Structure 1
Amino acid sequence: DFDQLESKTEMFETGLKVVDLLTPYVKGGKIGLFGGAGVGKTVLIQEMIMRVAKLHEGVSVFAGVGERTREGNDLIDEMTDSGVLDKTALVFGQMDEPPGTRLRVALAGLTMAEYFRDVQKQDVLFFIDNIFRFTQAGSEVSTLLGRMPSAVGYQPNLADEMGLL
């Protein structure tokens, strides 16, 4: 409900000094991590998941859209080794899956995050890796449904899909 929305801005302390100082995160906000392959985006995500579980006793939800099988296995192994798998929900639509599956993985992850927030009353960090692959899967589904692409080649309902997410 509208009357229950928080009007104050509260900072989320990650425990990572460089992040908290240079790019502080707002609770309830959205953050994009952009960079080339191999620069450490997933390492940063893993570190944040571990710190949320250990410092804040919160839950993290990770939706892997179009991930490689190896990356998913590595993430599960890392969460197991660090002892935070019980505070983490992982959902994957790997790159060999049909586009409809990859498209729905982000929404399934969002549903999990909403459950932890609304029903379990827990603080939640929700990660989608990779949002471009979500868009790409939507484009593939749109093509399979015979929809006419927009002028730049994306699906005509891209804004609706992103807004829903």
Structure 2
Amino acid sequence: LQRYKALQDIIAILGMDELSEEDKLTVARARKIERFLSQPFFVAEVFTGSPGKLVDLADTIKGFKGLCAGDYDHLPEAAFYMVGSIEEALEKAKKLAAEAA
């Protein structure tokens, strides 16, 4: 995430095309991590319309480690937004793929 933060200025000025393949991968993973950590909270249910979810710490760490390791590089970024566990992200990715087909 720190590397992504450092790359944001370059992206803003030159665009993603000017990044190396390694940096593009870093940016993609960091964006997925940011979305994955935007888990739906019970207090935000009124504002988001999404029901809050309680996610076990071990499940969150498992998902985070998988994202860092590149286990989910094949999934779209949108699959990680406002989900609870990584399993929910996998299900959401399937739904997104079905809708796109």
Flag whether TM exceeds 0.5 (same fold). no
Q: Which has the higher contact order (CA 8 A, sep 6+)?
A: 2
Tell me which protein shows more helix as a share of its residues.
Answer: 2
When normalised by structure 2's length, the TM-score is 0.31
Tell me which protein shows more strand as a share of its residues.
Answer: 1
Structure with higher Rg: it is 1
When normalised by structure 1's length, the TM-score is 0.22
